[in-house]
Structures are given as structure tokens and as C-alpha cells.
Amino acid sequence: MIPKVRKAVFPAAGLGTRFLPATKAMPKEMLTLVDKPLIQYGVEEAIHSGMNNIIIVTGRGKSAIEDHFDVSFELEHMLEARQKKDLLAAVRSVSDMIDVFYVRQKEALGLGHAVLRAKEMVANEAFSVVLSDDVIDAELPCLHQLHDIYEFYGCSVVALMEVPPENISAYGVVDAEPVSHNGGSGRLYRIRNMVEKPSPEDAPSNLAIIGRYILTPEIFHSIEAIEPGRGGEIQLTDALKHLLRTRPIYGYKFEGTRYDAGDKLGFLKATVEFALKRHDLGEAFREYLRGIQI
Ligand code: UTP
């Protein structure tokens, strides 16, 4: 039987240049959608997919992330004294949820390099990678959907999304053939090749890799074997290409909506959608939006 994936790696050491100056002293993973940092959405997705062992790869602004997932005695004491039970529960739920481990990426040398920093903590088991600036709203968490495929095939699985040609050069893009799975919902692909950030003419398909992966531990060998690629960075896509030489990799067109919260427009869209869905805010916010001139 294929053992369940327990560990989730959160690379959070990028420079976040698209969000400067907000990200000068704070990692973009701490940007807030309504009232929760992006990374907490990702951590909750991992927990709801059975992965409670959280490994965060940090760079600058490490303390903001650590403090967020740590117990805050002063704050809890104050909330308790003031009988703010709901807020107390919200604050506690973060620190109670998980076991978090941190590893440092001293220089932002690329996503592949960041994942490699987690090698010793992951050891010899399959693990997931979550890019928390990809926020996914889905009935069944995206990681859970990938895990269901992993449990069946025992191979690495990446999340795929259809992207229009004018945006395709922002992504890693796959050349893949459809695979019928469990009677077939047409969502599963076996990957033949992949290209990092191709021009629309060179893109092998409209299927882009987005920030959710389940990876088998052989990926570490592949990351170590590759040279820096695009932008002089150690790219995870290049390592996946290397892994493809010896292992099958599947792609799954997940069910749900993904927001690119690492980009300003995507972040604003996510903020509006998430606020509208909130029980405590949605109605008032909807009314407000109806009333403004656009
Ligand atoms: P991005 O390319 O989206 O993040 O990396 P970035 O480089 O921080 O952002 P921009 O483009 O300059 O605005 C995807 C994920 O990989 C992490 C980032 O933190 C983000 O979660 N990452 C990237 C690292 O941890 N280390 C790196 O060297 C590069």
C-alpha cells in the first residue's frame, strides 16, 4: 500500500518583487486576504488534505511567519481577560493546528533550490509543495485531489490549469496525453514534457502547472543534478523534466478556482471574492459594491 503524504513544504523565501514596497520587510506569504495571511490559507488546505507536518522555507521576514504560527501568550491573555471568545478561538486555532518546522534559504536562488532546502526534513518519503500565493477555492481541497491521484499511482502529481495564450508565458506548461481514470472525468494527464515560461508560439499546450505538487523524494536528486535555468535560478520545472526521464509524472486539472495572489490584480480579485463569501461581511460588502460608481 502507498503510504499517505504527511509533510507539506511551503517555499516562502522569494523576493516578492511584484508586491514591493509591501514585501520589503515582510514576505508576501504574510499578505492578508480579508483577515488571514496567504500562507494560512495554504496551511489549512494542507491540514484538510491530511498533511499536518508543515515545513516552511523562509528567507527575509522569517520572524513574521514564525510569530504567526507560534503561541502568543500576551495576546491570548488579553483576549481572555476581555472575554473575546471568538477572537481567542481564531488566534488559538492557528497555533494549535500544526507542527511547524522552519528551514532557511539564505539566498533566493529559485523555487527548486528552496524545495531542496527541505530535503533533510522530508527524508525519504513523498511530500507536497504549496506555493501559498496561489490561493485555491475548492470544495475538495486541491492538495486532496492531487493526493487521491498519488494514492492510486504512487507517482509525482502536479496541479494543472487551462490558461489563455496571452498569459501562458507566465507559467510552466506541459505537453501531456489524457489518461482515463476511474471511468474518467477527463482531468488526468500523463506528462510527456514541460517547458518553463514559453512564448505562446512555443507553448506545447494550454495546460499550465500551478502551485500545488505532490512529489516523490527522487525529486531531490533531480534538483541536485540540474544547472541553473531561466533567470539563473534553479527551477523546479527543470527538475521535474529531469525526473521525467526515469519516473512517470501525472498532471491533474483540479476542480476549483485559483487566484494568483502574488500579483496585484489577482490579489484584489481574491480579496473581493473571499470577502463576498464571508458570513460576517458578505452581505454588507455586496451592498457597498452595488453602491459605488464603476
Ligand atoms: P515566485 O516567483 O512567484 O515568487 O515564486 P517571488 O520570486 O517571490 O515573486 P516575484 O515574482 O518577485 O513577485 C513562487 C514561490 O516560490 C518561493 C516564493 O516565496 C513563492 O512562494 N520562492 C521562490 C522561494 O522560496 N525561493 C526562491 O528562491 C524563489
What is the distance in A from the centroid of ligand 1 to the CA of 110? Answer: 7
Model confidence, pTM: 0.94
- Would residue 215 count as lying in a domain? yes
For residue 226, give every residue at least 6 positions away whose Cβ sits within 8 Å of its Cβ, in sequence order, or none: 112, 234, 235, 238, 239, 242
- Give the burial class of 250: count Cβ atoms within 10 A of its Cβ; 0-12 exposed, 13-18 middle, 19 or more buried: buried
- Would residue 39 count as lying in a domain? yes
Q: How far is CA 102 from the centre of its chain?
A: 16
Answer yes or no: is the C-beta of 15 below 6 A from any ligand 1 atom.
yes
- Would residue 201 count as lying in a domain? yes
Domains held by the chain: number: 1
Domain of residue 182, CATH code = 3.90.550.10
- The pLDDT tens digits along the chain (294 residues) read 888 999 999 999 999 999 999 998 889 999 999 999 999 999 999 999 999 999 999 987 778 998 888 877 788 888 888 888 888 888 777 777 778 999 999 999 999 999 999 999 999 999 999 999 999 999 999 999 999 999 999 999 999 999 999 999 999 999 999 998 776 678 999 999 999 899 999 999 999 999 999 999 999 999 999 999 888 999 999 999 999 999 999 999 999 999 999 999 999 999 999 999 999 999 999 999 999 987
- Would residue 204 count as lying in a domain? yes
- Would residue 221 count as lying in a domain? yes
- Would residue 2 count as lying in a domain? no
- Assess contact for 212 and 134: CB atoms under 8 A: yes
Q: Which atom of ligand 1 is nearest to the CA of 19?
A: 13
Residue nearest (by alpha carbon) to ligand 1 atom 9? 16
- Would residue 1 count as lying in a domain? no
Ranges of H-type helices in 24-72: 38-47, 62-69
Q: Which domain holds residue 182?
A: 7-290
- Would residue 122 count as lying in a domain? yes
Q: How far is CA 7 from the centre of its chain?
A: 13
